[in-house]
Amino acid sequence: MKILVACEFSGLVRDAFAARGHDAWSCDLLPTEVPGQHIRGDVRDSLDCGWDMMLAFPPCTYLASSGARWWPGRLVEQADALQFVRDLLAAPIPLIALENPVGIISTRIRKPDQIIQPWQYGHGEIKATCLWLKGLSTLVPTHVVAGRVPRVHYESLGPDRWRRRSRTLPGIARAMAEQWP
């Protein structure tokens, strides 16, 4: 399958699908952190390229409930972020999974099809992650582990904090590649 992993600079999800024999490409405004098939640019310019599946990880800065206290001063940015999500969900791609934390997408666009936790996929931490699905089944937990540490919440401050917080964990990426399509 030809798979687009939108808004991913880490290459983790792309590489999980490539390891299973798919023609997987990541796309982001940033360069990829690891060598691999990567499109650098606005993903909207690549949506109409004959993809079979897209996994989208749009930036959550103006969408996640964790930033709700700043929303009143960022209404234009939030409207742009919601339109970006709408554009991704409306892409002419048969199979779509869009990932984002709990936030405003649920009330302004639609409720998620599933909410997963890292501890269901081998990582002993919590981070409620919503999935909006088109043509895909919900993920089945692969390795439930003990431990419920909010690592992402306690991520140390610094200029790369957003980068560390935004990475998809390997257990979740593996589950996506194994269970979809």
CATH for 165? 3.40.50
Domain that holds residue 20: 2-179
pLDDT at 73 over 90: no
- Sign (positive or negative) of CA dihedral 12, 14, 15, 19: positive
Segment 83-116, tens digit of pLDDT:
999 999 999 999 999 999 999 999 999 999 999 9
Domain count, the chain: 1
pLDDT of residue 156: 61
- Residue 152 — very low, low, confident or very high, per pLDDT cuts 50/70/90? low
- For residue 62, the model assigns a pLDDT of 87
Length of the chain: 181
CB neighbours of 125 closer than 8 A, spacing ≥ 6? Answer: 118, 119, 147, 148, 149, 150, 151, 152
User: In the prediction, which pLDDT does 148 show?
Assistant: 78
pLDDT at 66: 79
Look at residue 74 in the predicted model and tell me its pLDDT: 87
More confident residue, 159 or 134: 134
Return the minimum-mean-pLDDT range out of 31-40, 43-52, 60-69. 60-69
- pLDDT value for 69: 77
* 55: Cα separation from own chain's centroid: 7
pTM above 0.85, yes or no: yes
Residue pLDDT, tens place only, 7-47: 999 999 999 999 999 999 999 999 999 999 999 999 999 99
**Residue 162: is its pLDDT beyond 60?**
no
Q: How many Å apart are CA 158 and CA 181, to the nearest integer?
A: 37
Closest by CA to 98, choosing from 3, 6, 2, is 6
